[in-house]
Amino acid sequence: MAIQITIIGLGQIGTSIGLALAKHTATVKRVGFDKALEVQNKAKSLGALDATHFNLPAAMEGADVVLLCIPLDQMEETLKLIAPDLREHAVVMDFSSQKALVHKWFMQHVAAGRHYIGLVPSINPAFMEQNRAGIESARADLFEKASFGIAAPAGTPAEALKLADDLATLVGAQSIFLDMLEADGMLMTAHLLPQAMAAALLNATIDQPGWTEARRFAGKPYAQASAALGNDSQHALALGLLNNPITALNALDNAIGALTHIRAAVQSGNQADLEKRLEVAFNDREKWLNERERAEWLVKDEKSGMPQATDALKRIFLGGRSADKKDKKK
């Protein structure tokens, strides 16, 4: 019997998941919903969905798994809307930039007997620098050579975790189990900080002295750096930064510190120090790109499919207790 996956939000992530699951329609029924009807219809015409609906209650009917592929600032309202129609034992998974916050909203608005899992996706390195966004950038192979972080609260049933792990496998990604706070920290470093840096670049240049002339010559470096702002709204970015202020401040302080060192080298005319810092940056970027291309994160014997001894899994299954303590209570 096929399980039903309802995908809410049919941009790059949601439509790509539907496309990647197209070869598994014998075991997966793909239902989609997007508040933009033209986007929903396009996803269906691309073959990313088996069915679409014009309203959320209809899209939720019969869903075993619900994927929320929407920005952070739309999460709470969407959870409120879908809560009455979530069947018992349904698993809600989201792709937002902050997992602890979404889990808090889930607990506030969703009845017991349903489960939440946060997903942290990366994408195929071949598409990291593409300029298109939204459904125009959706691809069936978007998650090949990519990773899915699986962040679940303590007490999440093994069956729900296996659904998340299976989803990652079906779309071509490697899965890795994460603590929820660990996931939020990684998202701050890899997702929100680049967006904040892009915002700072734009604030520091546009409408500042000299911009009237400089704007004519702002080319590829400027476009690439400012593109990190992404497609999320300013509300989603602000919410992500303000919700996790300690981690956000640490990330911003590290960035400011790095800029301060570069500034000091320029101010003092210390060419050797400046070139050393730039050399490290160039080399680190090349190393990271090579690692992303190879995607050899896991040793062969450690293929994720439900890792057996990670601290994250112990916390998920045992609620933060060690196995020894649990055994002593028997």
Q: What is the pLDDT of residue 318?
A: 46
Residues in the chain: 330
- The Cα 136–Cα 148 span in angstroms is 22
Quote the percentage of the chain above a pLDDT of 90: 84
Task: Give Cα separations from 288 to 2, 109, 177, 251, 324 (angstroms).
Answer: 39, 40, 21, 19, 38
Helix or strand run (H / E) with residue 167: helix 158-170
- The Cα 49–Cα 22 span in angstroms is 8
Instruction: Band the pLDDT of 324: cuts 50, 70, 90.
Output: very low
- The Cα 283–Cα 270 span in angstroms is 20
- The Cα 7–Cα 68 span in angstroms is 6
Q: Where are the domains of the chain?
A: 3-180+304-315, 184-294
- The Cα 291–Cα 240 span in angstroms is 27
Q: Is 89 in contact with 31 (CB distance < 8 Å)?
A: no
* pLDDT higher than 70, residue 329: no
Long-range contacts of 251-254 (CB under 8 A, 24+ apart): 251/188, 251/189, 251/192, 251/193, 251/196, 252/193, 252/196
Higher pLDDT, 326 or 169: 169
Output the CATH code of domain 184-294.
1.10.3660.10
* pLDDT higher than 80, residue 1: no
Please give the structure tokens belonging to residue 23. 């070869």
* pLDDT higher than 70, residue 310: no
What is the arrangement of strands in the sheet containing 91-94, beginning at the earlier edge strand?
A: 51-52, 28-33, 3-8, 65-68, 91-94, 115-121, 147-151, 174-178
Q: Which pLDDT tens digit goes with each residue over 166-213?
A: 999 999 999 999 999 999 999 999 999 999 999 999 999 999 999 999
Q: What is the mean pLDDT of the segment spanning 260-280? A: 97
* pLDDT higher than 60, residue 252: yes
Q: Which pLDDT tens digit goes with each residue over 218-247?
A: 999 999 999 999 888 899 999 999 999 999
Give me the CATH topology for the region 3-180+304-315. Answer: Rossmann fold (3.40.50)
* pLDDT higher than 50, residue 320: no
